[in-house]
């Protein structure tokens, strides 16, 4: 394994044994820490911050946190206390970094070398953005995007546009967007965006803006660097630009979580997780011979809805030997994981089943 590391102050409450600490701003869940988990406990959930996290004191008076809503017919600022009177829903969804799986790109894609653990399935509680917007007279005419701004204090002397976490997503996502104040039934930790976070189920992590203090319906996408040129899928060696696909909706994906290295001969339960991304996951197949023969595995535990992942299990009778174990999920629209990754400069969106396999030694 990994060299021992310590957790940064703002994530000191996390379970160090279940995490790989890549840097002070990036920690991933160990592949063997998920097992058959329907939900990811908060202390095992990965962390990724583009900017240093704000001080814990921003959550001293949670209900007083205020978010400005713009680009609606009656724009105004609302406190969390007010949001809590407007409506409440709980949704289970996969939070996954755009670069999850980056470590598998052989060209050495720049950025945190995430394996499979920049993802988790959690419960979010908050108010649907649509409810808020309806209370403010609806979306103003001519708006095409939802633009959310992170509340970090920006270091002085730098152009805010180059560092601010402000992301735009298509207006169509208004059907699923939520302003959330709870994670897994507890007040949303500052580590994960408390007191208030924008959550867009089915969209990559970067669109789930933490410490959100401004939500604007806008005609065009924001001109921040994180929108215009970062999080864009392009060929190796090509610079990021606004004409390339943005990391919005997630694709179908799965991976085995246990066992990962060795097993004893005889009956072995092979576990993993599968999700459809923007669609529900429909089925999961597992191969013990690197993808030549496939068997249907079964989903385990309750179905927490379209945006959740589902643990799966396959009972296998294994003779001594070496097995290449791979899994391939299919979503409700019939999209299956491809065999291979699509090489791209920053190593985004990897859902190829081959790279995500494991080699099991049975003795
Ligand atoms: N938000 C803010 N405000 N800031 C930052 O930095 N990041 C991103 C999101 N949001 C940020 C935000 C990212 S990028 C991600 S993944 C996520 O978040 C994570 O989360 P957690 O809670 O886990 O830490 Mo990639 O696509």
- Residue 62 CA to ligand 1 centre (angstroms): 20
Residue 192 CB-half CA count within 13 A: 27
- Residue 131 CA to ligand 1 centre (angstroms): 24
Q: Which CATH superfamily is domain 9-228 in?
A: Oxidoreductase, molybdopterin-binding domain (3.90.420.10)
Structure token digits, residue 325: 């174990």
- Residue 72 CA to ligand 1 centre (angstroms): 26
- Residue 73 CA to ligand 1 centre (angstroms): 29
In angstroms, the CA 182 to CA 271 distance is 29
Q: Which CATH class is domain 253-362?
A: mainly beta
Query: Does the CA dihedral 307-48-147-58 come out positive or negative?
Result: positive
* Phi, then psi, of 58 in degrees rounded to 5: -65, -15
Query: Are residues 228 and 242 in contact, defined by beta-carbon separation less than 8 angstroms?
Result: yes
The DSSP string of 194-241 is TT-EEE-TTB-GGGS-SSEEEEEEESS----HHHHTSSB---TTPPP-
Residue nearest to atom 24 of ligand 1 (CA): 47
- Which numbered atom of ligand 1 lies nearest the CA of 98? 26
Q: Enumerate residue ranges in the chain where pLDDT < 50.
A: 1
Tell me which DSSP letter residue 255 carries: E
Q: What is the pLDDT of residue 5?
A: 83
Identical fold for domains 9-228 and 253-362, yes or no, is: no
Residue nearest to atom 2 of ligand 1 (CA): 210
Q: What is the pLDDT of residues 57-92, one digit of tens each?
A: 999 999 999 999 999 999 999 999 999 999 999 999
Task: Quickly count: other Cβ atoms within 10 Å of residue 269's Cβ.
Answer: 13
Q: What is the pLDDT of residue 53?
A: 95
- Which numbered atom of ligand 1 lies nearest the CA of 51? 6
> Per-domain residue ranges for the chain?
9-228, 253-362
- Residue 46 CA to ligand 1 centre (angstroms): 10
* Phi, then psi, of 216 in degrees rounded to 5: -125, 135
Residue nearest to atom 25 of ligand 1 (CA): 97
- Residue 22 CA to ligand 1 centre (angstroms): 15
Q: What is the pLDDT of residue 1?
A: 46
User: Which residues' Cβ are closer than 6 Å to ligand 1?
Assistant: 45-51, 95, 97-98, 150, 152, 165, 192-193, 204-206, 208-211
- Residue 48 CA to ligand 1 centre (angstroms): 5
Residue nearest to atom 10 of ligand 1 (CA): 209
- Residue 115 CA to ligand 1 centre (angstroms): 17
- Residue 165 CA to ligand 1 centre (angstroms): 9
Residue among 210, 230, 247, 251 whose CB has most ligand 1 atoms within 8 A, to mutate: 210
Q: What is the pLDDT of residue 283?
A: 98
Query: Are residues 298 and 335 in contact, defined by beta-carbon separation less than 8 angstroms?
Result: no
The helix/strand/coil state of 22 is strand
Residue nearest to atom 14 of ligand 1 (CA): 206
Residue among 48, 182, 209, 226 whose CB has most ligand 1 atoms within 8 A, to mutate: 48
Torsion angle of the four alpha carbons 73, 214, 92, 206, in this order, in degrees rounded to the nearest 10: 130
Q: What is the pLDDT of residue 4?
A: 54
- Which numbered atom of ligand 1 lies nearest the CA of 47? 24
């Amino acid at each position: 394994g990994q060299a021992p590391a310590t957790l940064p102050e703002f994530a000191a409450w996390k379970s160090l044994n279940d995490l790989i600490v890549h840097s002070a701003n990036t920690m991933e869940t160990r592949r063997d820490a998920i097992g058959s988990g329907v939900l990811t406990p908060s202390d095992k959930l990965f962390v990724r911050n583009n900017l240093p996290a704000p001080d814990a004191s921003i959550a001293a008076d949670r209900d007083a946190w205020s978010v400005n809503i713009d680009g609606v017919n009656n724009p105004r600022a609302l406190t969390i206390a007010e949001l809590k009177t407007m409506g409440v829903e709980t949704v289970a969804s996969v939070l996954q970094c755009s670069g999850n799986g980056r470590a598998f790109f052989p060209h050495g894609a720049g950025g945190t070398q995430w394996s499979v653990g920049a993802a988790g399935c959690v419960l979010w509680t908050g108010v649907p953005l649509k409810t808020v917007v309806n209370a403010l007279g609806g979306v103003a005419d001519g708006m095409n995007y939802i633009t959310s701004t992170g509340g970090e204090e920006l270091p002085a002397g730098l152009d805010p546009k180059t560092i601010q976490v402000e992301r735009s997503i298509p207006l169509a996502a208004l059907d699923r967007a939520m302003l959330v104040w709870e994670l897994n039934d507890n007040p949303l930790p500052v580590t994960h965006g408390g007191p208030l976070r924008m959550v867009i189920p089915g969209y990559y992590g970067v669109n789930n803006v933490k410490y959100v203090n401004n939500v604007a319906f806008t005609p065009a996408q924001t001109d921040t660097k994180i929108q215009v040129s970062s999080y864009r899928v392009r060929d190796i060696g090509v610079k990021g630009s606004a004409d390339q696909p943005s990391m919005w909706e997630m694709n179908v994906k799965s991976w085995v979580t246990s066992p990962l290295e060795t097993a004893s001969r005889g009956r072995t339960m092979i576990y993993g997780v599968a999700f459809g991304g923007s669609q529900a996951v429909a089925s999961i197949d597992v191969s013990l011979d690197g993808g030549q023969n496939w068997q249907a595995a079964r989903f385990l535990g309750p179905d927490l809805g379209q945006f959740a992942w589902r643990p799966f299990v396959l009972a296998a009778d294994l003779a001594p030997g070496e097995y290449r174990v791979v899994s391939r999920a299919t979503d409700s629209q019939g999209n299956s994981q491809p065999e291979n990754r699509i090489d791209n400069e920053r190593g985004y969106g990897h859902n190829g089943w081959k790279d995500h396999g494991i080699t099991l030694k049975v003795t």
